[in-house]
């Protein structure tokens, strides 16, 4: 009885503490050896050490871990880990024990709260299939009273526990590691705002490639939504597709449909130009295709080679203008980010449109006048004149220009995956 009373008192105390800036503002990057690193993460922790080494060699630097032993494993190959915590359960004593067991581990980079927690008590279809709460999977979307009432009841229980759990982390973790919660892309704004001030990093997962859909530019728009959910103050991590839906079995069908290398690359750079501060991959633990895995590793190697740019602020002076031929004058969706590190520069362009743009201008590059920029992983080069880079963009194309080809990786295995004539 005394033990239960102490737990209740602790819970009430933690819930009563206000959320006013008790968390240090996070850049969204993880820290390694005192410097910031763009997270290139994976939910999969291979059981085989050689597979783990291959993952590390491919530039993946952050992996989900369950305990100290798994943190030891990732540390041995130079990676870091995150620990997932069931903050929603309200079991303070059990949560404290879990936090204390790993909080001093040097490989621990971030805490993760419950996955898709708001989605789980609002629109998730399991409320229809399993728990029989909703009459149809669309009850939440249609705001049927029974679905709305159920969600409100669950929120009243879960959100105070979640806030209390986040504050408990802060009271125990003196290194003030960031707290991240991943949601579904359509998770409810109102309930996410119920905990957003108590975490450091927000974001969502989205897996658009299936046997019937290959439209991947939705990733950038989802990134923008979560920037708005965090009021522009919370860094966004995006969880991208590392599997084919058929591998999940059951209702997901039997037709293989992996993203091509170009589609995976478009998704990654699309979230980056929209401001994502981390990329995490989910589903690779289901993978049956080593060819697809190698295509993902080709991409993570490419991103890892650009680390100095990915943690650098954008060049505010750089401006993008699409100057199309007169008959094609429409609202264009070409996105850009420009970064520089010392004397090195990176210009990333992403065409989110299904049509070409034959005149794309990046201006404000006077510091690069007379210098040639190389289109990485291509023979194309262009010279900056009058502060302008001029290029053309094909439908759904990504172009990554740099001041040197040293930013390319030499291992290009997997880059042709999904192209005509390749696996």
Check whether 282 has a pLDDT greater than 80: yes
At 243, is the secondary structure helix, strand, or coil? coil
Secondary structure (DSSP) of 299-344: HHHHHHHTHHHHTSPB-TT-EEEE---GGG-S---EEEEEEEETTE
| Close Cβ partners of 101 (under 8 Å, ≥ 6 residues apart) | 67, 68
**Rounded-to-integer distance, Cα 233 and Cα 239, Å:** 19
What pLDDT is stored for residue 330 in this prediction? 61
Mean pLDDT confidence for 21-46: 85
What pLDDT is stored for residue 130 in this prediction? 80
- The residue with tokens 């800036």 is 21
What pLDDT is stored for residue 66 in this prediction? 97
Check whether 10 has a pLDDT greater than 60: no
What pLDDT is stored for residue 214 in this prediction? 87
For residue 129, what pLDDT band results from cuts at 50, 70 and 90?
A: confident
- The residue with tokens 């669309």 is 138
Specify the DSSP element, H or E, that contains 95. Answer: helix 92-102
Check whether 3 has a pLDDT greater than 90: no
Check whether 8 has a pLDDT greater than 70: no
Q: Identify any residues that bridge with 203 across adjacent strands, giving them in sequence order.
A: 237
What pLDDT is stored for residue 420 in this prediction? 67
Tokens of 364: 């404000």
Identify whether the C-beta of residue 313 lies closer than 8 Å to the C-beta of residue 337: no
Average pLDDT, the chain: 91
| Whole-Å CA distances, 241 to 57, 99, 278, 279, 413 | 20, 29, 14, 10, 19
Least confident of 26-40, 246-260, 309-323, 343-357: 246-260
What pLDDT is stored for residue 103 in this prediction? 97
Q: What is the pTM of this model?
A: 0.91
- pLDDT (tens digit, 9 = 90+) per residue, 336-372? 999 999 999 999 999 999 999 999 999 999 999 999 9
> Could you say which DSSP state residue 379 is in?
S
What pLDDT is stored for residue 20 in this prediction? 33
Q: How far is CA 276 from the centre of its chain?
A: 7
Pairing of β 381-383 and β 319-322? unpaired
The 3-class secondary structure across 184-210, one letter per residue, is: ECCCCHHHHCCCHHHCCEEEEECCCCC
Q: Identify any residues that bridge with 80 across adjacent strands, giving them in sequence order.
A: 62
What pLDDT is stored for residue 104 in this prediction? 96
Secondary structure (DSSP) of 249-265: -GGG-S---PPPHHHHH
What pLDDT is stored for residue 327 in this prediction? 60
| Whole-Å CA distances, 292 to 110, 309, 342, 371 | 28, 27, 36, 37
pLDDT over 70, % of the chain? 92
C-beta neighbour count of 97 within 10 angstroms: 10
Half-sphere exposure of 308 (CA within 13 A, CB side): 10
Tokens of 81: 């880990």
Pairing of β 334-341 and β 344-351? antiparallel
Tokens of 227: 């920037």
Half-sphere exposure of 341 (CA within 13 A, CB side): 11
Check whether 393 has a pLDDT greater than 60: yes
pLDDT over 90, % of the chain? 83
Check whether 14 has a pLDDT greater than 70: no
**Rounded-to-integer distance, Cα 418 and Cα 84, Å:** 34
At 402, is the secondary structure helix, strand, or coil? strand
Mean pLDDT confidence for 277-302: 97
For residue 5, what pLDDT band results from cuts at 50, 70 and 90?
A: very low
What pLDDT is stored for residue 11 in this prediction? 46
Give me the domains of the chain, ranges plus CATH numbers: 319-407 (2.60.40.1180)
Mean pLDDT confidence for 207-215: 91
- The residue with tokens 């690359």 is 265
Mean pLDDT confidence for 413-423: 78
- The residue with tokens 């478009």 is 266
């Amino acid at each position: 009885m005394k033990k239960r009373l102490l737990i209740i008192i602790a819970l009430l105390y933690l819930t009563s503490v206000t959320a006013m800036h008790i968390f240090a503002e996070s850049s969204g990057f993880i820290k390694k050896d005192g410097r910031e690193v763009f997270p290139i993460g994976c939910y999969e922790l291979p059981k085989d050490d050689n597979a783990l080494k291959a993952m590390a060699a491919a530039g993946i630097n952050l992996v989900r871990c369950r305990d100290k032993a798994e943190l030891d494993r990732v540390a041995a190959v130079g990676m870091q880990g995150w620990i997932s915590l069931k903050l929603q359960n309200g079991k303070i004593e059990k949560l404290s024990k879990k936090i204390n067991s790993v909080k001093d581990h040097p490989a621990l980079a971030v805490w993760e709260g419950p996955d898709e927690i708001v989605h789980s008590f609002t629109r998730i279809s399991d409320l229809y299939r399993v728990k029989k709460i909703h009459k149809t999977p669309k009850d939440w979307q249609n705001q049927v009273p029974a679905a709305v009432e159920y969600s409100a009841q669950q929120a009243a229980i879960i959100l105070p526990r979640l806030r209390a759990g986040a504050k408990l982390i802060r009271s125990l973790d003196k290194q003030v590691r960031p707290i991240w919660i991943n949601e579904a892309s359509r998770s409810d704004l109102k309930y996410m705002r119920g905990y957003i001030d108590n975490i450091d990093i927000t974001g969502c997962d989205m897996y658009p490639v299936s046997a019937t859909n290959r439209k991947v530019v939705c990733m950038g728009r989802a990134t923008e939504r979560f920037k708005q959910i965090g009021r522009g103050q919370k860094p966004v991590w995006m969880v991208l597709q590392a599997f084919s839906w058929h591998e999940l079995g059951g209702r997901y069908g039997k037709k293989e449909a992996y993203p091509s290398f170009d589609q995976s690359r478009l998704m990654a750079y699309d979230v980056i130009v929209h401001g994502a501060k981390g990329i995490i991959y989910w589903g690779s633990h289901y993978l049956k295709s080593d060819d697809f895995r190698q295509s993902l590793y080709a991409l993570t190697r490419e991103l890892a080679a650009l680390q100095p740019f990915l943690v650098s602020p954008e060049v505010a002076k750089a401006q993008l203008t699409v100057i199309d031929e007169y008959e094609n004058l429409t609202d264009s969706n070409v996105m850009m980010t420009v970064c520089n590190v010392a004397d090195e520069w990176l210009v990333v362009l992403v065409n989110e449109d299904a049509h070409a743009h034959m005149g794309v201008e990046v201006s404000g590059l006077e510091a690069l006048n007379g210098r040639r920029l190389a289109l990485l992983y291509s023979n194309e080069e262009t010279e900056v004149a009058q502060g302008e880079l001029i290029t053309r963009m094909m439908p759904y194309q990504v172009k990554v220009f740099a001041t040197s080809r040293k930013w390319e990786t030499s291992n290009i295995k997997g880059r042709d995956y999904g192209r005509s004539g390749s696996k």
